[in-house]
Amino acid sequence: MKIYIGTNNKAKTKAVQTIASLYYPDASFVNKEVDSFVSAQPMSNEETRQGAINRAKQLIGQQDTLFGIGLEGGVQEIDGILYICNWGALVVNNGDIFTATGAGIPLPDEVAEKLRAGAELGPVMDVYTNRKGIRHAEGAIGVFTDGLITRSMMFEHIMYLLIGQYELSRKLL
């Protein structure tokens, strides 16, 4: 059985493979770049959630699919502070969909200002750290938690939340 992953991002892919292979050791993984149909930089919880759902829905209908996973990163403003937010969606071929949200921490003002002006977090983080490809590595959440929680670990938690809901629904059938 195949598990479809709606991205080529390395941090997201690692999270899906790490957690899903614990529960489905015989599954194989297929990456498929799909459109989120939301902004490149989602600016609300609602938009970020919708991006994850939109990605996952495009993975319906493949042969031998266990499920498809859509993961989306964004930011949301609360009380004048920009927090990172992250969402995941798991879809099965019959159209059932499970969603979950992940950890959120505030972004420093100098980063938040650039996003409010229209920049994307990925490139902003590369400039901030003077490195390349932070979004494929520890991510903003890793940089701003001193490496304690990486972008993969954050998406791993979302994977547990998604698989847990999916498995429970199968037990209730």
Ligand X SMILES: O=P(O)(O)OP(=O)(O)OP(=O)(O)OC[C@H]1O[C@@H](n2cnc3c(O)ncnc32)[C@H](O)[C@@H]1O
Q: Does 135 sit near ligand X (CB under 6 A)?
A: yes
The interaxial angle of helices 109-116 and 121-129, nearest 10 deg, is 140
Closest CB to ligand X among residues 112, 125: 125
Q: Does 17 sit near ligand X (CB under 6 A)?
A: no
Contact set for ligand X, span 58-77 (CB under 6 A): 72-74
Pair 10, 137: CB distance under 8 Å: yes
List 134, 158, 159, 161, residue binding ligand X (CB under 6 A): 134
Q: Give the span between the Cα atoms of 8 and 50, in whole angstroms.
A: 19
Q: Does 157 sit near ligand X (CB under 6 A)?
A: no
Closest CB to ligand X among residues 118, 164: 118
Where helices occur in the chain by DSSP H, the ranges are 10-23, 45-57, 109-116, 121-129, 139-143, 151-171
Residues contributing to the site for ligand X (CB under 6 A): 7-9, 12, 40-41, 72-74, 120-122, 125, 134-135, 139-141, 151
